[in-house]
Structure 1
């Protein structure tokens, strides 16, 4: 079996893992609902802004921290968005683990020249 066959086999397994199935199901609560999409978009924009500030300044501003803190309770009152974010976080853990396994198998440090 060649590497491409293994990749297809892995893709099939990944598509059937509980974290992916749950994420797919949770995404149905977002699709087709403009309010849910907007709430998720707002949350993502804030996350990106916080991440960018963390990378540039070494910390997140009090303003962004406060916005995130205020958005959390609002999101928790929306079961579809809250469920999606939780499913996405669970999938993210699996995905990061898989990437680590693959990177370890390659045996090359791809972080050369990058700040760690």
Structure 2
């Protein structure tokens, strides 16, 4: 196995052990252990996935679907546990995006050199 692959596996383990990931995991488990929150969250995820699939297939999203999605989002944001989960998920996404920027920096620099 290459040194880079070993580093990637070490990074995976570090992410699993990070405070950010563990906070997300706790928030997720709290939602999953609350029957009402779990149903609301599942409905939210289903709506989100359905709209993403329509977009990827080039299908138009109707005003009615947009309005329904907005209502679902408003509802889940009012639930404290789900709102907290969404905040923690955003933190992990920002954390991972920062790692991704670091990893792709050699490519960006390479292309930037040749663009000048």
Q: TM-score, normalised by structure 1?
A: 0.70
Q: CA deviation at 1:28?
A: 2.6
Point out where structure 2 has 5 or more consecutive residues left out of the alignment: 109-116
Task: Mark the structure with the bigger radius of gyration.
Answer: 2
- Superposed CA RMSD: 2.7
- Aligned residue pairs total 107
| Greater helix proportion | 2
Aligned-partner Cα distance in 2 for 1:27–1:71: 18
Q: TM-score, normalised by structure 2?
A: 0.70
Aligned-partner Cα distance in 2 for 1:21–1:91: 10
Aligned-partner Cα distance in 2 for 1:25–1:40: 15
Q: How does 1:1-116 map to 2 (within 5 A)?
A: 2-57=3-58, 59-99=60-100, 102=103
Q: Which residue of 2 aligns with 1:113?
A: none
